[in-house]
Amino acid sequence: MKIRQEQLDAFFVHDLVEHVRRYLPDQYRALGEHGARQAVEHGMGRARSHGFLSNPGVRAYVQVMFVLGPDFDADPELDGARQALAEPTEIQRVRALVAAAESHLRDRLAQAEGRSH
């Protein structure tokens, strides 16, 4: 029995949608099953266009995309994330992208806390 690439991709999409459902339930509920699947497929395409070719690299990109937004890689306010995508190797891009996303979220939290006081 031979498994085609399309079958592997479909399984990976399903796996990522389930990951979103489990770990990002608010985003999943807002999008619904079909919308989450479309977002995952969009993220997979964007990830591959930035040289994320391994499943772990694509997964990391998609996770960041669900947190920062579907087109974070083109958002001028997310310069750190855009710079991370220029790193020379996939593992360096993953590490820099996750660090940039964490930094952005810390900054947003600090801003929100500053406004509430």
Q: Residue 8: which H helix or E strand, with range?
A: helix 5-23
**Two structure tokens written together for 50:** 């930035």
pLDDT of residue 117: 55
pTM for the full predicted model: 0.89
Give me the helix-helix angle, 55-68 and 90-116, nearest 10°: 20
pLDDT-based confidence at residue 5 (cuts at 50, 70, 90): confident
**Two structure tokens written together for 30:** 């807002």
| Cα distances (Å, whole numbers) of residue 28 to 10, 25, 31, 57 | 18, 5, 5, 21
pLDDT of residue 116: 60
Region 94-108 average pLDDT? 95
Phi, psi of 53 (to 5 degrees): -110, -25
DSSP conformation class of 50: T
At residue 69, the 3 state secondary structure works out as coil
pLDDT tens track for 58-97: 999 999 999 999 999 999 989 999 999 999 999 999 999 9
**Two structure tokens written together for 94:** 């993953």
